Structure 1
């Protein structure tokens, strides 16, 4: 099975698993996923305020290489909850991230994998003052707590790599 087939199979399997959740569990999970999406947006905004757009453009996104396994089941479910189509990965772009294009990440910040929103290189963090770094770390902790809560609600590791988690 190639990567495109594995992706399609994993997307189908994740959707089917979500549909099997009891109604109350699904609603509770949806609420937490919305919180997760908000935390991700806030983390990206803090990095942007420190100049990440120009820094990342200047280095060409070196930290974004080999991102094939970064997208989790939880990330995919966020698209479902937002009634949005997930990004179509380009697995032929390796070693570049299959979820990126010429202008950078193809995913809006709230849909990006946790790895992608919590990592900031030294150049970005170096532009942050102590208060900004503290706010960044606080948001990261809130994100991690919400992800752990989603895992507890679902009774499974939704934060594992999508391509490794589904019966693909």
Structure 2
């Protein structure tokens, strides 16, 4: 069970998990990401049930047996192919929306640094960055592909595939929603009351921007690309909801 943060020492719009719910790193504060997930489920609930298939292959995908690295590369490759057929107007829409997301995430990261987030991360060894395998979404991958590049190669043998030598391979503007909006207890306490209010406003705006993509593209989901891609079967990742 999750407890509302208001009345339990936390700001409005956040929730606090009871002891032993979160993983290492005292990840006690969870943002309203759960509302983000509910939005996606409502908007895309009418997607047809399809067999779990490996995009471009003949057989049914057994999710437990498929190598994560291979699946990741296949999904990214599928996105590259789909983007080639996207109209100039649609690309412009994507670029504009992603630029706004990057702007908000930069602003949130500034607050993270003001609260002493970097030093707190060093002191706990980045334990909060555990289990990030399913965090990257379509929104975090598209900026690389629209520039003609590729996202950093993930290492699925790590606790987080994008955590390398105690640093994140994804820059703040391109980090997953749940990563960029997470402020541990000491970091949040290091902010002034005004900055905490600003943080909550930015988090709310950022969540709404992600939801726009989730409501537009079938492959965009707070559950992450590795989950959403196979679930679509042969449907395009950039297909409309």
TM-score between the two structures when normalised by the length of structure 1: 0.89
Q: Which runs of 4 or more aligned residues in structure 1 lie more than 6 Å from their structure 2 counterparts after TM superposition?
A: none
Q: Hey, which of these two has a bigger chunk of helix by percent?
A: 1
Asked whether 1:158 is paired with 2:220, we answer: yes
Bigger RCO (CA 8 Å, 6+ sep): 1
CA distance in 2, matches of 1:118, 1:83: 27
Match status 1:132 vs 2:182: no
1:11 matches 2:73: no
Partners of 2:139 and 2:80 in 1: CA distance = 11
- 1:117 corresponds to 2:180: yes
Flag structure 2 segments of 5+ consecutive residues without an equivalent: 1-65, 234-241
CA shift for structure 1 position 164: 1.5
2:113 corresponds to 1:48: yes
Give the TM-score normalised by the residue count of structure 2: 0.64
SS at 1:159 equivalent: coil
Offset of 1:19 from its aligned partner?
3.4
5+ residue gaps in structure 1?
A: none
Taking the aligned partners of 1:166 and 1:17, their CA distance within structure 2 comes to 13
CA positional deviation for 1:83: 4.2
| CA RMSD, 1 decimal | 1.8
Matched positions, count: 165
Question: Based on CA coordinates, which of the two structures has the bigger radius of gyration?
Answer: 2
Post-superposition offset of 1:64: 0.6
Is contact 1:52–1:124 with CA below 8 Å preserved after alignment?
A: yes
Q: 1:59 aligns with which of 124, 135, 139?
A: 124
